[in-house]
Amino acid sequence: MPVVTLPDGSRREFAAPLTVAEVAAAIGPGLAKAALAGRVDGRLVDTSFRLSTDVNLAIVTDRDPAGLEVIRHSTAHLLAHAVKSLFPTAQVTIGPVIEDGFYYDFAFERPFTPEDIAAIEARMRELAQADHPVARRALARDEAVQLFRSIGEKYKAEIIEGIPAADEIGIYGQGDWFDLCRGPHVPSTGKLKAFKLTKVAGAYWRGDSRNEMLQRIYGTAWADEKALKEYLHRIEEAEKRDHRRIGRELDLFHFQEEAPGAVFWHPKGWSLFQQLISYMRDRQRDAGYFEVNTPEIMDRSLWVQSGHIEKFGENMFMTQTPDERVYAIKPMNCPGHVQVFNQGLKSYRELPLRLCEFGKVHRYEPSGALHGLMRVRAFTQDDAHIFCTEDQITAESVAVTQLILGIYRDFGFDDIRIKFSDRPAKRVGSDGIWDRAEAALQEASRAAGLETTHNPGEGAFYGPKLEFVLRDAIGRDWQCGTLQVDFNLPGRLGASFVAEDSQRHTPVMLHRAMFGSLERFCGILLEHHAGRLPLWLAPVQLVVLNITDRQAGYARSVAETLQNQGFRAELDLRNEKVGFKIREHTLQRVPYLLVVGDREAENNTVAVRTRNGKDLGSLSLDVLSSGLASEVASRGRVVMEG
């Protein structure tokens, strides 16, 4: 007689073994209808899972994040079912859940067309409305291989052949279709009510470019139509905010095939990039950092010694000189900073020593992964390394986290999530050293008052880290800053200092970045602000527009005055109607447009308009420049309109 303990601590005793679905029904008809899966002693299972012993059970509904994952997993199967129904010669491969949705890869003799996708989605809706029960059965591995080969599904058979012979193979069926899967799945297709196919892309079988190209159909699925509509609205808004589109419209940067994954910065884009560096340079100087610059190319032997070749070599660019010496283009700045530290004998009195660099690094990313400024091969890090004693870790880590959070606020990011990432499988250093490093970072997190979530196995190969995740204006998360505690690299590269006991000790190294990649942070800023950058960051802060040629001289003097005061002001004296010029510069997201006519020229004023169309009236240059200076100093608080 199984005893079931529910999440609220209550216990229910049953006279005979029963399924998760039957437990839900015993609790109430509403829960029975809402049940999508169960969590038995922490393991996610189907509602058909049979309980024969005492267990802890939670009924999973669409209010549970795991329930949404089950919906998406099952919708991926619904997609494959629909494709096989419409295109019987297509072969199915894999269909996992991804962030906000799912995909399924297919082998088919021709590309899927937009009309095909519409037909597939319509067929999915028919299959969902048919409310086919979803049932699981188990087969021996070899039996499962034979089954899938018999129906011509060679990819599924290949997947199963890679599973140990003793393992049980799960097969899920709905209607006249079945698929290999571990599950769990919804009880019936009728539970799938809110989904949308979004795009088609190419994908290599098993992610290997030497294999055949497949077609990957992406989709999204949600608990209800309201959530689906909200997501589709976010996607539409994200397309409007796409930094690549904004970059073209505002003439900020471009990419081209001759330099894949590297940015060609245009004057206005480079102005934004330099504003980030200038800002960060000031903040780091005030926080006690010393800026350095280290070589971009260093001998391969240094990277072998540091451990990067072993752990990161496949992502590094190498070059060989005529004398057969092999060099690596740096993917990280850390070893270079250790070389700076190693010059001259260091005393404990010099610690902590904070070194920072706007270092250009190169990492190989597959061409299919490149994505504008967000995923590049050549980028600039606002990298810093703090050499300190073990006793200084907490104080230095607290200072770093406070600096990072303050900087994000200046850029308009108030919603920050922090992840604690511990040791990965692929790492350097002993477990004892990792125990000390993880304990030190956890203690620093507590001292800083941080709320963190666990991100298992995602630490750097040399130490655990905190990851700072920004939530933008439309609810997307971007991982930017990191803080890493490293007990390994300094010792590998021979770093030491003379301690109070007059003996040499190895320093601890804190790796720290705040923007992460300046290129990527530029992209995030452009999307977060939809190209309407705050005044202090805008590449062009003001444009002076004349109405007729009579005001050309006065307009020129206004622009020169503002430029001399340090504002990024431009002059538009074109022989065009002023309304045309206002519209054009508004589309360029210029914060303030200064219009001068005869009246303004006579009174030494300017008529001020914002890019949002608000008319601020006529202001003297003194009042204008004072307001602009206050707004720049406020890092985004709009003073002129307030």
Q: Active-site positions?
A: 334, 363, 381, 383, 385, 465, 511
> Residue 117 corresponds to which tokens in the numbers above?
């996708």
Which of 56, 38, 57 minimizes the C-alpha distance to 46? 38
DSSP 460: B
Q: Which residues contact 169 (CB under 8 A, 6 or more apart)?
A: 138, 139, 140, 141, 143, 144, 160, 163, 180
DSSP per-residue codes, 87-106: -TT-EE----EETTEEEEEE
- C-alpha 156/C-alpha 144 separation (Å) is 9
Parallel/antiparallel/unpaired status of strands 326-329 and 297-299: antiparallel
- C-alpha 426/C-alpha 460 separation (Å) is 9
Which of 566, 547, 553 minimizes the C-alpha distance to 609? 547
Largest separation between any pair of C-alpha atoms in the chain: 97
Query: Is 489:334 a contact under the CB 8 Å cutoff?
Result: yes
- C-alpha 460/C-alpha 340 separation (Å) is 22
Q: Which residues contact 242 (CB under 8 A, 6 or more apart)?
A: 372, 527
DSSP per-residue codes, 482-502: EEEEESSHHHHTT--EE-TTS
Query: Is 347:507 a contact under the CB 8 Å cutoff?
Result: no
- C-alpha 52/C-alpha 310 separation (Å) is 49
DSSP 166: T
CA distances, 632 to each of 116, 313, 437, 566 (Å): 53, 44, 41, 11
> Residue 288 corresponds to which tokens in the numbers above?
């006690």
